[in-house]
Chain A
Amino acid sequence: MQRAMANRLTPYMFMAPAVVIMVIALLYPLGYMVWGSFRDWDPSQTIGEAEFVGLKNYITLWHDPNFRESLGVTLSFAFFVVTFEMIIGVGLALLLDRNIRGMSVLRTLFILPMMIAPVVVGLMWRYMYHPTVGTFNRFFESIGLPSVDWLGANALMSVIIADIWQWTPFIFILSLAALQSLPRSALEAARIDGATGWQQIIHIKLPLMMPVLIVTGLLRLIDAFKVLEVILVMTEGGPGLSTEILALRISRTATEFRELGVAAAMSNYLLILLLFITLMMFAFTRWQEMRTNRLRAAAEEDE
């Protein structure tokens, strides 16, 4: 009797530490933030002392041109980064999916940029983009081209390039894994039927990889909204607001302008955006599962 009781409690005992920590340090803070976003909240006050102002923070933000610009910067950063990384990453995977010596060494070198601290990545690129001592401008100078104002007039582009450098390998590795797990029979059949390389890619490889590619792209999209340190070190959001993504603006609103309520409301806008993307990912994987189940059922009926 006692033994059965203990067995019934086992899963809860295994879950308990994780649940306690996540409630204390993740869910409760998130609720606290939602609550705080309805208040005019200064860092020196406790949340109880802060005045309740209803939706004021949200409405102010909605009409704030700076917030809108920052939102625009965030969206275009995420869009360009994910698009270019998907194109380059998948392209490279298709190109390098060959039986060559030293592939594992190659993959090791490619994941290096992802593992290094974002702060350090920002530091390296800030040096390379430096107007006078930087690597790029020196190189341009030595071959007689005019120098480029990387972190000035073209700041957003420069930041996007740095992110592409850091995260394209992620897409590359995942799509290479997807490519190598494709059913050999389909490719074999296409080759026997005389499909050219391009035809194989467009009609067989890409459609079969699609589920993995979509999930990868959405994961990368979610991560693109988390980028902060690289940009902070490279440009600190400037010049002007040209590279001030939302994450950076939240941290500045909280620490420099000392408006915790507004920062909380801004965080909520960002969360809602991300929630939307995550739900899309869920819906997609569910749909995918249902479709494979249906296909399998159909195949079984045929037999």
Chain B
Amino acid sequence: MSTTYDRQQPAFYALIAALVVMSVGPVLLMFVNSFKLDVDIISGTSGMIFLPTIQNYETALCDVLWYKPDHVDHCSLKFGNAFINSLIIALVSTILTLVIGCMAAYALVRFRFMGRDSVSLTTLMVRMVPPAVLLVPVFGLWNNEFCIDKTSYVGSAIRDTFGGRGDVCLAGTHSGIILVYIAMNLPFVIWILQSFIVQVPRSLEEAARVDGAGPFQVFFKVVLPLIKPGLAAAAIFTFRIAWNEYLLASALSDRNTKTVPILIVNNMSEFNVEWGVIMATGMLLAIPPIIFTLFASRQIITGMTAGAVKG
């Protein structure tokens, strides 16, 4: 297919160049700075002339490196651990949200059943709830109510296996954070996927049913393969939120389940900011979303327009 492009004035291209610099510039700046020593960042001989170094990354990743960098005498930044926590939490919550969300979206689109309208209305309404609003109740519930008594059979078994003191609570565990993220993302995922499932022709499903497929088979073998673009979009958005979220994770995690955003905020609020190391950690946190953007931008844009426009 050959498309012809309109010729534009030079001023137009200048504008586009300026826009690109504006949107990518700060990211690029952080990237460059993460390879500079603090001395170079502060001394201000700005520009590109400096000796690139991976020292900042070594400091950040000191707890997972197989060798001990010379310039790190005490490995205080547990970045590697936090990175693994972030990965576990983001991946598990993305997968679960997708599975649960597309089943629910399918039911909402394809079946008429009692309570359907109230379910879809609730889904829409809770989309507006900000994470900050969930902070207080989730903190209270996860620490006090959603617990297994340590004297009970299950509770004592968990305490014997994993150690620790007190009742077994959701707070401070990966599953506690994952549960909130799933609940937070479900409304959005259901909303996006609905608009994709509507487009699946009914006749296909009926043909499968005539051939003797049960409802679950129809769903997994016929519907799911057809809504792959929607699933990709929903997956990226869910991952993005679970990967980037700070507030709820900071309320629910303990020393061992910290995620990367918490680590960055904790290091920022200290008085003397080590810019180089902080930028390196920021860059590491930003890499997965950047990769997604570069490789799946079409799905992201489809998801964004489907989520906002159709409906």
Residues of A near any B CB (own CB < 8 A): 7, 10-12, 14-15, 17-19, 21-22, 24-30, 32-33, 36, 41, 43, 46-47, 92, 95-96, 98-101, 104, 106-113, 115-128, 132-133, 135, 138, 165, 169-170, 173-174, 177-178, 212, 215-216, 219, 222, 225-226, 228-229, 232-233, 236, 246-248, 250-251, 254-255, 260, 263-264, 267, 270-271, 274-275, 277-278, 282, 285
Contacts and interface: CB of A to CB of B under 8 A. Distances in A.
B133 A250 contact: yes
B207 interface: no
Nearest to A220: B308
Main secondary structure of the interface of A (DSSP, over half): helix
Contact of B182 (A25, A33, A46): A25
A18 B141 contact: no
Contact of A14 (B104, B265, B301): B104
Contacts of A27: 122, 126
A21 B183 contact: yes
A277 B293 contact: no
A123 B282 contact: yes
Main secondary structure of the interface of B (DSSP, over half): helix
B305 A173 contact: yes
Contact of B135 (A18, A46, A250): A250
B162 interface: no
B190 A123 contact: no
B309 A7 contact: no
B308 A215 contact: yes
Interface string B122-136: 111111111111111
Nearest to A141: B44
A274 B130 contact: yes
A226 B134 CA distance: 11
Interface stretch (B21-29, B73-81, B224-232): B21-29
Contact of A226 (B5, B30, B130, B141): B130
Contacts of A36: 136-137, 140
Given A33-B137, A119-B244, A173 B5 contact: no
Interface stretch (B49-57, B58-66, B105-113, B152-160): B105-113
B72 interface: no
A271 B133 contact: yes
Given A7-B215, A128-B26, A33 B309 contact: no
Contact of B279 (A29, A95, A127): A127
B140 A100 contact: no
Nearest to B99: A17
B203 interface: no
Contacts, number: 285
Contacts of A115: 240, 289-290, 292-293, 300
B128 A278 contact: yes
Interface string B240-265: 10011011000100000000010011
A17 B30 CA distance: 42
B184 interface: yes
B186 A21 contact: yes
B211 interface: no
A-B complex: 5 closest residue pairs judged by Cβ atoms: A25-B183, A247-B132, A18-B104, A14-B107, A29-B137
Counting chain A CB atoms within 10 Å of each CB, the highest count among B179, B286, B294 belongs to B286
B141 A267 contact: no
Counting chain B CB atoms within 10 Å of each CB, the highest count among A11, A41, A43, A263 belongs to A11
Given A36-B136, A108-B293, A177 B305 contact: yes
Interface string B113-125: 1001001001111
Interface of B: 3-6, 8, 15-16, 19-20, 22-24, 26-27, 29-30, 33, 41-42, 44, 46, 99-101, 103-104, 106-108, 110-111, 113, 116, 119, 122-141, 144-145, 179-180, 182-184, 186-187, 190, 215, 219, 240, 243-244, 246-247, 251, 261, 264-265, 268-269, 275, 278-279, 282, 285-286, 289-290, 292-294, 297-298, 300-301, 304-305, 308-309, 311
Given A169-B23, A215-B309, A228-B131, A17 B261 contact: no
B104 A112 contact: no
Nearest to A137: B44
Nearest to A128: B26
Contact of B136 (A28, A110, A260): A260
10 contacts: A22-B123, A100-B5, A104-B297, A120-B282, A174-B309, A215-B311, A226-B130, A229-B244, A254-B139, A260-B139
Contacts of B104: 14-15, 17-19
Contact of B183 (A24, A43, A263, A278): A24
A133 B30 contact: no
B111 A11 contact: yes
Counting chain A CB atoms within 10 Å of each CB, the highest count among B104, B124, B261, B289 belongs to B104
Nearest to B126: A26
Contacts of B22: 165
Contacts of A247: 130-132, 247
A107 B296 CA distance: 12
A129 B133 CA distance: 30
A10 B308 contact: no
Nearest to B101: A18
A111 B293 contact: yes
Counting chain B CB atoms within 10 Å of each CB, the highest count among A115, A165, A226 belongs to A115
